[in-house]
Amino acid sequence: MIKYSLICKVGHEFEGWFQNSAAFDVQSANDMVVCPSCGTHEVQKALMAPAVATRSNRSEPVQNRPTPGPDATTHAYVPPSIAEIVRKIRAEIEKKAEYVGPDFAEEARRIHYAESPERGIYGEATSDEVAELDEEGIPVFALPVLPEERN
Ligand SMILES: [Zn+2]
């Protein structure tokens, strides 16, 4: 079915449903499309896109969203209850893993290749170092930092 906005010769606007656009043409040619206000058969399609329920006719809102650049990093907004969990995870890691400071990337690599004893470690790494580890398939992840811990 297709809905047309129609207008009669004196300007009455109304809407009509038709099987398809050909059906409108046939009915119109046979004086079967009648203005409900004045009864005239002289009716034509108003200059309006027919309202058809297709996907392409729907709104297209999301496309203007900017794509994040390569520098974008993942961020999260969390309510205080989740922030508490994040804090606990961090505390747990900091308690059980060994702090290796700026040697993190090198030490993670040694552990991965079994050149150092297997254990959890944490420390500082540059984004380049993290990218290299990632390329080598060495699983490291950024510790979540809560906003109040930055400074
Ligand atoms: Zn009319």
Per-residue pLDDT of the chain (151 residues; tens, 9 = 90+): 888 889 999 999 999 888 888 888 889 888 889 999 999 999 998 865 544 555 554 454 555 566 666 667 677 777 888 888 888 888 888 899 999 999 999 999 999 999 999 999 999 999 899 999 999 999 888 887 777 666 5
CA distance 20 to 135: 56
CA distances from residue 52 to 62, 103, 126 in whole angstroms, order as listed = 21, 63, 54
Q: How far is the CA of 31 from the centre of ligand 1 (A)?
A: 14
Predicted confidence at residue 76, as pLDDT, reads 72
Smallest CA-to-CA distance from 53 within 87, 96, 17 is with 17
Burial class (CB in 10 A: 0-12, 13-18, 19+), 108: buried
Q: How far is the CA of 94 from the centre of ligand 1 (A)?
A: 79
Q: How far is the CA of 63 from the centre of ligand 1 (A)?
A: 41
Parse the chain into domains and list their residue ranges: 2-53, 80-146
CA distance 6 to 147: 59
CA distances from residue 81 to 78, 140, 146 in whole angstroms, order as listed = 8, 25, 12
Q: Contact 133/105 with Cβ under 8 angstroms?
A: yes
Q: How far is the CA of 27 from the centre of ligand 1 (A)?
A: 17
CA distance 102 to 128: 13
